[in-house]
Amino acid sequence: MNLGVPKETAPGERRVALVPETAGKLVKAGHRVLVESGAGVEAGFPDSAYTAAGAALGDPWDADLVALVQEPAPGQVGRLREGTAVVGMLKASTSPDLLRRLAERKVIAFSLELLPRITRAQSMDVLSSQATVAGYKAVLLAAEASPKLFPMMVTAAGTLAPARVLVLGAGVAGLQAIATARRLGAVVSAFDVRPAVKEQVESLGAKFLMMESQVTAEGAGGYAKELSADQHQRELDFLAASVRDADVVITTAAIPGRRAPILLTRAAVDGMRPGAVIVDLAAETGGNCELTDPGKSREHGGVTIFGPLNLPASVPLHASQMYSRNVATFVQHIVKDGKLQVDLADEITKATCVVFDGKARL
C-alpha cells in the first residue's frame, strides 16, 4: 500500500505523523511511503533521513492512506481522492463540518483519539503517548515560571524548603507530571475522582488527597465521568482549600467528548499564594480553571495562570516518535496483505472509523 505523510499545516504544529525509523519499518513490511519534502524538518527529521530509511519524497496526496497528526486543512481535504483513507487525530467529536467534507470526497477517515481503552489498542493509544509529553512539559513550564526552586536545598545560606506541587487529575498526563515534579525534588500531592488511581499516585511518591466524603466518578474505560451538581460543589470547596498552600498546581482533568470540568474557581485562585503558578493542561477543551485563557498566560492576584495549547508540539522529536509508532501499529491493524480492510465488527475499527461509504458515522 502507498502511505502518504504530508507536512502539518496547523499553526505551531511541529510534529510529523511518521518518523524515518517507523517509515523504514513500514517499507520493509512491503509498503511504499511517500513523504512531502520538509514534513519532518521541524521535528528534527530531514528529508535525507527518510530517503535513507527507504521512503520516497513525493506527493503524499497520491497515496492510498494519508497519515496526519492533526485534522487536514480545507485545501488538503480537496486534494484527497475518492477511496483514500485518512488516519490522524481528527477531533471528530467536535468537527462535524470536517466529517461532512470528508464524506463528500468519499474518503475513509479514522480518528485516533477515539481509540477504545482496551488491551489490544494500547500500542495505538495516541492520547496516552502525547499526554505523557504534555505532563512532562507542564512541570518544566511551571518550574521556569515559579519564583521557587523545586528541590529542598541545604546551603551555606541556610536550608530552602521544597516547592509544593498539586496535580489535579491522575490520568497519563497527571501521573507523568507527578513523576517529573518528584524527580525535580518537589513535595507532590494529587487529587482524582477515581479512587482506583490512589495506588498509582502513591507509587510515584506523592500523597493522594482524599475528601472526608470522597466523591467517585469513574466512567467506562477508566475515564472520569461528570459529577452531580452536589458532588461537584463539594469537590470545588475541597480543592479551594487544598490549593491555598500550593506553589504549583497542574490541572489535567478531562471528560471525553465534553467540556473540561471547572476545578478551580476564581475564588479558589484568590485564595492562593502570590507567586503561585497554575498550568492548565485542559485549556484546549475550555480549561479546569475558571480564569484560564486558552493559548495564553495571565496573572490574577499574583498568581500566574498558563493555558498552553498543544504542548506535545513543543517537544516534537520524541512526541513524533511515539505518535509514529502508534500510527504504524494502527495501520498494520487496518491494512492486510496490502489492502485496507474496514471491519466494522472489530472494536478498534468500529470506534475510530468516522467516515465510511460516503457517510459520517458520528
Strands 207-208 and 339-340: unpaired
Task: Encode 179-203: b = buried (16+ Cβ within 10 Å), e = exposed.
Answer: bbbbebebbbbbbbbbeebbebbee
All 3 cell numbers of residue 94? 467536535
Q: Which helix (H) or strand (E) holds 183?
A: helix 172-183
Strands 248-251 and 277-280: parallel
All 3 cell numbers of residue 135? 505532563
Asked if residue 313 lies in contact with residue 14, where contact means CB atoms within 8 angstroms, the answer is yes
DSSP calls for 269-310: HHTSPTT-EEEETTGGGT-SBTT--TT-EEEETTEEEE--S-
Q: Enumerate the active-site residues.
A: 117, 122, 125, 128, 223
CA pair distance 300, 280, nearest whole angstrom: 14
CA pair distance 182, 231, nearest whole angstrom: 30
CA pair distance 106, 344, nearest whole angstrom: 17
What is the three-class DSSP state of 249? strand
**Residue 109 main-chain phi, psi, to 5 deg:** -120, 140
Neighbours of 80 (CB within 10 A): 21
Neighbours of 159 (CB within 10 A): 8
Asked if residue 169 lies in contact with residue 254, where contact means CB atoms within 8 angstroms, the answer is yes
Radius of gyration of the chain, Cα coordinates, nearest whole angstrom: 22
Asked if residue 73 lies in contact with residue 9, where contact means CB atoms within 8 angstroms, the answer is yes
What is the three-class DSSP state of 146? coil
